[in-house]
Amino acid sequence: MRLSKLHVVTLRDDPADAEIPSHRLLARAGYIVKVASGLYTYGPLMWRTLRKVSAIVRSELDREGALELMMPILHPKELWTRSGRWDRYVAEGILFTLKDSKGGEFCLGPTHEEVITSYADQTVTSYKQLPINLYQIQDKFRDEVRPRYGLMRGREFIMMDAYSFDADEEGLDASYKAMDRAYRAAFSRCGLTFRSVQADAGAIGGAGSEEFMVIAEAGEDEILYCEESGYAANVEKATSIPAAAPDGGEPRELEKHSTPGVKSVAELEEFFHLPAAAMAKTVLYSATWPDREAVVAVLMRGDLDVNEVKLAGALDCLAVTLADEETIRRVTGAEVGFAGPIGLPEEVILLADKTLEGRTNLLTGCNETDFHCLNVNLGRDCPRPTFHDLRLARPGERSPDDAGELKQARGIEVGHIFKLGTKYSAAMDATFIAEDGKPRPFVMGCYGIGISRTAQAAVEQNHDEKGIIWPVPIAPFEAVVAIVDVKKSEQVEAGERAYQALLDAGIDVCLDDRRLRAGAKFKDLELLGFPVQFTAGRGAGEDRFEVTPRANGEREELPFDQAVARVIELVQAGRS
C-alpha cells in the first residue's frame, strides 16, 4: 500500500484532552479521531492494528478450542431482569438504555453473560455437549463516569468476550486454565510486558479471578506484588501481614476520658501514650443497594486503612462513600472525629476488620464530642460486629505468604478471567441434563480482553519522545520503504523495487511515496512508528540505502540487496 493513498493525516499539536503519551501519540498520528467523549473513529491505519490484535487473540483462543460466534448488541430488558442485573446496572449508571417503537425496553450490551446463558440454555441439553467455550469480538457500550485516556476508557470499545460452560467445577478449572494460557500467549505476541494479578471477585467471592495488567505509569490500577514469592494482586483485592499489634491483656473496666480537641490518630497517640495499633477508629460510610441505603460503621485498627472495594464486597452493595458531616452528627450525636462503636443507633450496620478480632481493651471514640473511651471490648461494651477482611494492604508490608515485602506498581487492565460458577445459570434457570439424568445449572466462566485498550496499552509501553514504536506483530505495517524525494527517478525506481521485493518476501510493507520535504517525512514516519524503515535517498544512484529500526534509530548503510535482506531479517526477528 502507498501512503499517498492511505489517508495519513498527522497533527502538529497534541489534543487538549490528551493526558497520557499513548493518547497524545495516537491522536497526533491520526490513528484515532474523537467523535464525542469516549467515542472514537479508528482511522484506516488504526483499524489495521486492531485487526491484527483481534487476529492474534482469535488464533490463541481457537488453539484452545474456543468457538467464535456473534451475539446481538441490543439486549431486551427481560433477559437482564432475569439475571437481576438490570436494576443494579441502571443504578450504577453504566447501562445505555433505549426503547423500541412499541415501548419495549433494551440496553446496548456492556457484557454478554445474559445473552450467552440464554443461548446455552436453548442449545445445550445434555452433558455430552459440554464443555463448550464461546466467544465474540464486538463493540461494547458502557456509560463510564469518566471516559478518558483515549481508547483506554471509552464508552464504546472493542472487547473479546468469552464464556465457558462446564458440567462441574473440575471442568471449569480446566476451561479457566486454558484461557489463562491463551491470554498469556496472546499478550506476549502483542509485544506487551504484563503481569497477571489476583483480582477482586466482587460479591460472588471465593471463585478465582485474575486480571492481566500491562505495567505502565499511566495505569489506573494499583498492583501490589512480592518478588520473592511471585504473589501479585490488584490493591482492591490484595492482602498482607500487617505489623503486629500490642496485646491488650485481660479485659479491664471501661473508662471514659475527656479529650478536648483531640481527634486524629496522631493526636490520640500523643495524648494517651498509646500506639495507633491499640486504637480502633470508627469510619462511617453511606452504603447504597438498588433498593435501599444505610449507614455503616467500620471499625479499623488505628494504624490501618479501609479498602472500600472490600467493604462494598462484604456488604454486597453497589457503592460505599464516606458519610457526610451531617450524617455523622446525626448517628453519633457528636462532632466529626469522635465516632465510636458504643451506643450507635440500631439502623447503623457495624462491621470490623479481622485484625480487631479477639483484641481487648481498645481505645475508641465515644460518640460524644471531646471524649474517648479506653478499654473498649467489642461484644461487651457494644454489639459484637461481624468481622471481615476490610483492610487496605500497603507497600512495605509483608506479603500474605510471608515470603517478602510487598512492592507497588501501576497497571492497565487489558484482560480479565473470572470463575462465575452457577451465578447466572442458577439465576436464569439455565440447565443441562447431567450424567445422572438430573437437570443441573451450567458451571460458567467469563473472560474479557479489551482489544482497543490493548492496542493503546502497547503504545503506552512502546514509544519515545518522537512517536510510536509499534511491536512488529501489531504494527499497521511491519516496514516502510521511504522515497525521500519523489522527483528523483533513481530514488523512485529503487524504492518501488525494494517495496516489491519486500512484498514478495511476505513482509507487510507500505511505500511512502508522498510529496513531502525530507525532514517532514522522516518526522511523520517516526510519529507513525512502523518498526523498520528502508530509505531510498541521495545514495540511491550509488547503490547506497539506509535501514533503520524505529526502536533504536541506528541507521545502517547497505547496498540494495543487503538492505532488503536486513529489513526482512529485522521484521522476522520482531515477529516472534
Given the rule CB under 6 A, which residues bind ligand ATP?
Answer: 111, 142, 144, 153-154, 157, 159, 413-416, 448, 450, 452-453
Asked if 77 interacts with Mg ion (CB under 5 A), we say no
Residue whose CB is less far from Mg ion, 222 or 496: 222
Stretch that binds Mg ion, among 143-151, 277-285, 293-301, 410-418 (CB under 5 A): 410-418
Q: Which does 157 bind (CB under 5 to 8 A by kind): ligand ATP, Mg ion, none?
A: ligand ATP
Q: How far is the CB of 127 from ligand ATP (least distance, A)?
A: 29
User: By 3-state DSSP, what share of the chain in percent is helix, strand and coil, each rounded to 5?
Assistant: 30, 30, 40
Q: Based on the number of CB atoms within 10 Å of its own CB, is 244 exposed (0-12), middle (13-18) or buried (19 or more)?
A: exposed
Q: What is the identity of the amino acid at 389?
A: D
Closest CA to 373 of 298, 278, 442: 278
Torsion, CA 571, CA 573, CA 575, CA 576, rounded to 10: 180
Nearer to ligand ATP, 203 or 505 (CB): 203
CB closest to Mg ion, residue no: 416
CA distance 255 to 554: 75
> Which C-beta is closer to ligand ATP: that of 416 or that of 488?
416
- Cβ contact 214:416 at 8 Å: no
Strands 280-288 and 319-322: antiparallel
Can you name the residues that pair with 438 across neighbouring β-strands? none
What gap in Å lies between CA 86 and CA 108, rounded to an integer?
Answer: 12
Residue 193 corresponds to which cell in the numbers above?
510486558
Select 85 or 514, whichever has its Cβ closest to Mg ion.
85
Nearer to ligand ATP (CB atom), residue 219 or residue 302: 219
The residue at minimum Cβ distance from ligand ATP is 450
Residue 537 interacting partner from Mg ion, ligand ATP, none (CB closer than 5 to 8 Å by kind): none
∠67-214-170 over CA atoms, to 5°? 40
Nearer to Mg ion by Cβ, of 341 and 421: the residue is: 421
- Residue 111 contact partner, candidates Mg ion, ligand ATP, none, CB within 5 to 8 A by sort of partner: ligand ATP
Q: How deeply is 3 buried, as exposed, middle or buried, from its count of CB atoms within 10 A (0-12, 13-18, 19+)?
A: buried
Nearest approach, Cβ of 5 to ligand ATP (angstroms)?
Answer: 31
Q: Amino acid identity, residue 129? A: Q
Q: Which is nearer to Mg ion, 416 or 466 (CB)?
A: 416
Binding segment for Mg ion (CB under 5 A), chosen from 371-379, 413-421, 467-475, 498-506, is 413-421
Q: How far is the CB of 415 from ligand ATP (least distance, A)?
A: 5
List b or e across 289-324, with b for residues whose CB sees 16 or more CB atoms inside 10 angstroms.
eeeeeebbbbbbbbbbebbbbbbbbbbebbebeebe
From the list Mg ion, ligand ATP, none, partner contacted by residue 153 (C-beta under 5 to 8 A by kind): ligand ATP
270 three-state secondary structure: helix
Q: Name the minimum Å distance from CB 87 to ligand ATP.
A: 18
The DSSP bridge partners found for residue 461 are: none
- Cα-based distances in Å from 522 to 432, 526, 534, 560: 61, 6, 11, 20
How many Cβ atoms are within 10 Å of 196's Cβ, its own excluded? 16
- Give me the least distance between CB of 510 and Mg ion, in Å please: 36
Give me the least distance between CB of 409 and ligand ATP, in Å please. 16
> Please, which residue, 195 or 488, has the CB nearer to ligand ATP?
195
Is the backbone peptide bond immediately before 131 cis, with ω within 30 degrees of 0?
A: yes
Taking the complex as a whole, how short is the minimal distance between the CB of residue 450 and Mg ion, in angstroms?
A: 9
Point out which span in 75-83, 335-343, 408-416, 456-464 binds Mg ion (CB under 5 A).
408-416
Could you say which of Mg ion, ligand ATP, none residue 340 binds, taking C-beta under 5 to 8 angstroms by partner kind? Answer: none
Contact between 416 and Mg ion per CB under 5 A: yes
> CA-to-CA distance for 453 and 348, rounded, in angstroms?
41
Query: Shortest gap between Cβ of 63 and ligand ATP (angstroms)?
Result: 21
- Strand pairing partners for 178? none
Q: Which is nearer to ligand ATP, 5 or 181 (CB)?
A: 181
Q: Are strands 407-421 and 232-234 parallel, antiparallel or unpaired?
A: unpaired
How many residues appear in the chain? 576
Partner in contact with 154, chosen from ligand ATP, Mg ion, none, beta carbon below 5 to 8 Å by kind: ligand ATP
Work out what residue 566 binds among Mg ion, ligand ATP, none; the CB cut-off runs from 5 to 8 Å by kind: none
- Among Mg ion, ligand ATP, none, what does residue 144 contact (CB within 5–8 Å per kind)? ligand ATP
Rounded Cα distance between 483 and 479, Å, is 13
Query: Total residues at the site for Mg ion (CB under 5 A)?
Result: 1
Closest contact distance (angstroms) between CB of 21 and ligand ATP is 17
Smallest gap, in angstroms, from Cβ of residue 450 to ligand ATP? 2
Select 95 or 502, whichever has its Cβ closest to Mg ion: 95
| Closest CB 279 distance from ligand ATP, rounded Å | 33
Taking CB under 5 A as the binding criterion, the range among 83-91, 187-195, 223-231, 412-420 that sits at the site for Mg ion is 412-420
Nearest to 306 by CA among 295, 320, 317: 320
The contact set with Mg ion (CB under 5 A) reads: 416
